[in-house]
Amino acid sequence: MGQGLNVAIVGSGPAGMYSAGALLAKCPDCQIDILDKLATPYGLVRAGVAPDHQTTKNVSRAYDKIMENESVRFVGNLSFGSDISLETLKSLYDVVIIAIGTPRDKTLGIPGEDKQGVYGAQTFVYWYNGHPEYRDAVPHLDIRDAIVIGNGNVALDVARILLRTEDEMAGTDLADHAGERIFTSPLKTVHVVGRRGAEHAQFSSKELSELGEMQNAVPYTDPAEIPDSFLIDDAKRQKVVNTNLDLLRQYAENSPNGADRSLYLDFHLSPTEILGDQSVEAVRFTRNRIENGKAVSTGETLDIPCNLLVTCIGYDLTGLEGLPVEKGIVRNMDGKVEDGVYVVGWAKRGPTGTIGTNRLDSQNVVEKILSDFECEKFSEKDGPVGLDRYCAEKGIETVSFEDWKTIDRAETERADHDAPRRKFVRKRDMLSLIKESRTE
């Protein structure tokens, strides 16, 4: 007690880190604890960004500087809800910021979705990125045909990672267990399927162009699916779409015949049923036409064979103890949930935008916080001291930022020559490493 505001941020992903950065800039006397259930910080930067997009991961260097501030602590291996409640956090801190994202895949809501070989995007992406809770989520990839449903960048990530060669992935941090499955898979075809037209797809031009650079896989799309032109009042969006359409025209000139592997970009198809006995064997689609901007079934159906189905249709937030969740987000007013409790990022606005989108969003919520609290006022809450006492009483072994740097160094040292790191994918291995380092 006696210092400035005591703040707890639940979640160390981009939204949480930008919130911490904004607080330090506006309220330098505050004390900030950043809590995470994992032993590793930075959320989707580690577990969500595709392993062959290492440049995007460089944003973690800016987060390191925030974590190294003497007013900030990383408190890993502490799970919100199961290890510590919202009520306890409110008793210890003046401000609690919820930055947990939207940790659940949306479902298709069609028959057969419970069959083996059907995965949500988060499950599949966390699996190949080495998230400890998803290490064993995909037992095998003994498959010939895969379908990825969705027309956003995550769908392209999944398709591209499935089709990349071992040489192409040598300079990445793809998890070892995933590489063992992917590089030995007999996979031949991947279909990326969207319910609307090519002009409605949400691919970035950079991601779409990467498909043409794969060593042993050829992208292909039906030229009849590509409109001659696209006009809209939004000039920025119009430019992106027309660049994408030009790329698709190039892919339409490819021949899928004779390639080692083929990637089909399909449009105007909606899944209606997942076929097979215990495991997925095909997906039944209905063909669509667009009426008033909406996809409407023509009544024509099409079955596409597959042994793996990954749905990339968005994320959702389920109920959290002590938090009002409605329509997949925490109910809030400009980021405020209740007195002393705020929400940022996807949990506030839904799963939209890029990593950078969270910066302005978090800054706006911090402005709201500082309009509710006097930054210079001495805190009457126990803050970090109280949290340490609570964890000691509960027997919870937390992970500090110094502990994380121990993991980080070990992962870097374990890596092959070209790879940036070789990840630990079991929490117990990380905690054992930390314990050993503390006794040296």
Mean pLDDT, to the nearest integer, of 66-94?
97
Mean pLDDT across 380-396: 96
Q: Is there a contact between 370 and 30 (Cβ–Cβ < 8 Å)?
A: no
pLDDT at residue 2, rounded to an integer: 46
Confidence check: pLDDT of 1 > 60: no
| Better-predicted residue by pLDDT, 197 or 377 | 197
The domain spans of the chain are 6-103+317-399, 104-315
Structure tokens at 416: 């092959």
Q: What is the CATH number of domain 6-103+317-399?
A: 3.40.50.720
The pLDDT of residue 32 is 97
Q: Give per-residue burial for 15-52: e unless 16+ CB within 10 Å, then b.
A: bbbbbbbbbbeebeebbbbbbbbbbbbbbbbbbbbbbb
Q: What is the pTM of this model?
A: 0.94
**pLDDT for residue 379:** 80
At the topology level, CATH places domain 104-315 in FAD/NAD(P)-binding domain (3.50.50)
What tens digit of pLDDT does each residue of 168-194 get? Answer: 999 999 999 999 999 999 999 999 999
Contacting residues for 129 by C-beta, under 8 A, at least 6 apart: 46, 47, 48, 49, 51, 173, 174, 175, 178
Write the single-letter amino acid at 159.
A
* pLDDT for the residue numbered 256: 64
* pLDDT for the residue numbered 257: 61
